[in-house]
Structure 1
Amino acid sequence: MSRKIKIPFIISKWFHFEFWPFWFFYIPMFFYGIYLAIKARAFAYFTPANPAMRFGGAFGMDKMNILSNIDKQYIPKGFVAHSEIELSDVKQLMLDHDMDFPIVCKPNVGERGVGVEKVDSEFDLLSFMKEKHEDILFQEFIDFPIELGIFYHRFPISKKDGITSIVRKEFLTITGNGKLKFSELVKTNIRASSRISYLKNKYKSKWNQIIPSGISYKLEPIGNHNRGTKFLDGNDLINEKLVSVFREISKPLDGYYYGRFDMKVNSLEDLYEGKNIKIIELNGTNSEPAHIYDPDFPLLKAYKVIIQHMRLVYEISMENRKLGVKPNTFKDIMGALYKRTFIKKS
């Protein structure tokens, strides 16, 4: 009888590009970016794509500022305050905005889901706040069952628009079989392997319990890939009716032409009707067509999709330049990156 060889998670992850480091995965695209910059005769050729966002939304954008331009029916209740604010003042602001626990807290300026937490109580809020030294976006927690990332673009002159990517998010979950302990179920899940210490602390009361068969636990309520969420290709949901929904949602967004709407919706039927939609975050040129991280998506096809989106950024930027929007300079970009990397940390 042959024995099945178990490959360690740290090795098996390298067989799936969805787990590769961001910088490593994008190495081939760096050269295409240089080509587009030369063609556009501008280092930051991408920044005119979204004049309403700082650096086109490549980094450093104010999340609340861009969300506030969307019709209120489509966004969660929320506000921004500095992390040094007193708890009593946060509670008053929550009262003023008709919010109650649980809430979601995250840096108002940040990327790739870093620092996002679901906060269930005042105690959890205090723990979250003491770790931060920046402006925080406080949002009501939306408990709709479906979370999507929908990539919508439009052109400022030709008025062409479309949806080029939809990612469906499957939250990090374990299901008992009546034999394995909670800890064993977590440790055998490849998506939880990098967060064992965090999850052990979070679920310490259940950690050594055997989970009955069929009982499931959603380990993470935040739909980010670095939190164990599985990204699935949802491009089969794209049709003209959905494009018209996002055409309507985007009308108030003056100066926004390219990016991904991260959102929750109550049902797919509601999605196509344009109701019971809550847009949690709106990303700019830093957006990825995240459906490529579906475990079954081929690597070469993923690169082809990224090239298509980089070309879209270039084409939209060139149209905006005809309208007088100028790209940021090399000095602008490098100065902002320096402040973000060194001055903020100091």
Structure 2
Amino acid sequence: MHRVVSRVKSLWYKITHWEFWPFAVLYFPINFYYPWLAFKCRSLFFFTAANPSIDFGGMLGESKSAIFELIPRKYLPDYQLIAPGDDVTAKDFAKQIGYPLIAKPDIGERGRLVEKIINEQALEKYLVKCPVPFLMQKFIPHPLELGVFFVKNPHEREGRITSIVEKDFLSVIGNGQDTIRQLLHNDPRARLQINFSHQRFQDILEEIPGKSEKITVEGIGNHCRGTTFLNANSRISEQLNRTFNTIAGDIQDFHFGRFDLRCTSWSDLEQGKNIMILELNGAGAEPGHIYQPGFSLWQGYQSIFWHLSTLAKISKANHEQGVPYWTFAQGWKKMKMIRAYNRIIESAL
């Protein structure tokens, strides 16, 4: 009976908090707006012109390592692309950068198969599990993890930041009595997003944190992995805009997307110091601040629609300057490849 009640509570929490709605449900209205944008641009795949140097404009199926090649090395953690099952290269690189490290598919989204690898045994398990080429990245312990959305129309001299999301990792506060498992079960967010049977949690779930002790349970900054997204738009400033114009200006033909990064402090971020870019997402990026708990659905749609409209304007402006849109045949072939690839990823989950 207790389990039934718990499931009902979780379902009700999910229904009444739109940030947890399935992607297809939340984005259903886009099915009506997107055709209008495509009509205005005269192309179903207009977004491919937004970031000409990124495959498919960065909408889906782009290679993270290929995007890294566009970014100045000073902003990147040490990384290596690993072929499936290549344990020799993987272990050699792990010795170079040390543990813990981050492993994630070179092509992937929504945190699938992203793991924090703590030792060689965990790396061996990941090598067996991951069926696709993957990136190994040096773990960056900087305390702030952010998603900074930047847009720049090619007709304008400077771009601007349109969204900042601050990521608060899933954690528990101990009471000196309950296990981490019990504390998580009392958290509606954790009940919705954590797979309690996953191997990566087995070593800590039965621990009993001390009173007022904070334990980070999931250190991967993805909403699907329990991270709370906080609206940090109040941090946008002229200095921060100048900093990201400098960063984006060093990336060939980049006009629209979100920098997922870690930094040491807000002050350093403004000054462009101690910044490590973990990923750069293109046309398919979301303005993550909308997932702030309590953010209204109407405000969320306003931001989504505005960013889509801006994506179309940038794509059209680039097209007018000679950047071709992908043809329907090219785009359809890419979509089929992405679906086939995602089936491979899902088979390993």
TM category, shorter: over 0.9
**CA distance in structure 1 between the partners assigned to 2:201 and 2:37 by the alignment:** 48
The answer as to whether partners of 2:179 and 2:206 remain within 8 angstroms in 1 is yes
Is 2:115 aligned against 1:113? no
**CA distance in structure 2 between the partners assigned to 1:10 and 1:254 by the alignment:** 45
Q: 2:75 aligns to what?
A: 74
Q: Which amino acid aligns with 2:220?
A: I
**CA distance in structure 2 between the partners assigned to 1:283 and 1:216 by the alignment:** 31
The answer as to whether partners of 1:155 and 1:319 remain within 8 angstroms in 2 is yes
Q: Which amino acid aligns with 1:23?
A: A
**Selected match of 1:257 from 255, 258, 271:** 255
**CA distance in structure 2 between the partners assigned to 1:195 and 1:298 by the alignment:** 21
Q: 2:64 aligns to what?
A: 63
Q: 1:278 aligns to what?
A: 276
Q: 1:220 aligns to what?
A: 218
**CA distance in structure 2 between the partners assigned to 1:259 and 1:117 by the alignment:** 24
1:182 Cα deviation (Å)?
2.1
The answer as to whether partners of 2:261 and 2:279 remain within 8 angstroms in 1 is yes
Q: 1:30 aligns to what?
A: 31
Other structure's SS at 1:317 match: helix
The answer as to whether partners of 1:17 and 1:299 remain within 8 angstroms in 2 is yes
**CA distance in structure 1 between the partners assigned to 2:198 and 2:161 by the alignment:** 40
**CA distance in structure 1 between the partners assigned to 2:187 and 2:121 by the alignment:** 29
1:207 Cα deviation (Å)?
3.3
**CA distance in structure 2 between the partners assigned to 1:210 and 1:160 by the alignment:** 52
**CA distance in structure 1 between the partners assigned to 2:173 and 2:287 by the alignment:** 29
Other structure's SS at 1:312 match: helix
The number of aligned residues is 339
Give CA-to-partner distance per residue, 1:10-46, whole Å, 9 cap, x none: 2211111110011110011221111101111111111
Other structure's SS at 2:136 match: strand
**Selected match of 1:317 from 315, 318, 326:** 315
Give CA-to-partner distance per residue, 1:215-253, whole Å, 9 cap, x none: 121001110001000000000010110011111111221
Alpha carbons of structure 1 residues 171 and 343: separation in structure 2 relative to 1, 3 Å: closer
**CA distance in structure 1 between the partners assigned to 2:341 and 2:230 by the alignment:** 38
1:158 Cα deviation (Å)?
2.4
Greater fraction of residues in helix:
2
1:344 Cα deviation (Å)?
6.8
| Mean Cα deviation higher: 278-287 or 184-193 | 184-193
Give CA-to-partner distance per residue, 1:95-147, whole Å, 9 cap, x none: 5xx41111100001112222111101110011111111111111000000000
Q: What RMSD, in angstroms, separates the aligned Cα atoms of the two structures?
A: 1.8
1:209 Cα deviation (Å)?
4.5
**CA distance in structure 2 between the partners assigned to 1:152 and 1:74 by the alignment:** 16
Q: Which amino acid aligns with 1:342?
A: A
The answer as to whether partners of 2:231 and 2:292 remain within 8 angstroms in 1 is yes
Alpha carbons of structure 1 residues 293 and 324: separation in structure 2 relative to 1, 3 Å: same
**CA distance in structure 1 between the partners assigned to 2:51 and 2:323 by the alignment:** 10
Q: What does residue range 1-40 of structure 1 map to in structure 2 within 5 Å?
A: 8-40=9-41
Q: Which amino acid aligns with 2:278?
A: I
**Selected match of 1:207 from 205, 208, 221:** 205
Unaligned 5+ segments in structure 1 are: none
Other structure's SS at 1:191 match: helix
Alpha carbons of structure 1 residues 295 and 196: separation in structure 2 relative to 1, 3 Å: closer
Q: What does residue range 1-346 of structure 1 map to in structure 2 within 5 Å?
A: 8-86=9-87, 88-95=88-95, 98-194=96-192, 196-198=194-196, 201-342=199-340, 345=343
The answer as to whether partners of 1:53 and 1:66 remain within 8 angstroms in 2 is yes
Using the aligned pairs only, state the percent identity.
35
| Mean Cα deviation higher: 187-196 or 109-118 | 187-196
| Mean Cα deviation higher: 235-244 or 158-167 | 158-167
Give the TM-score, by structure 1 length.
0.93
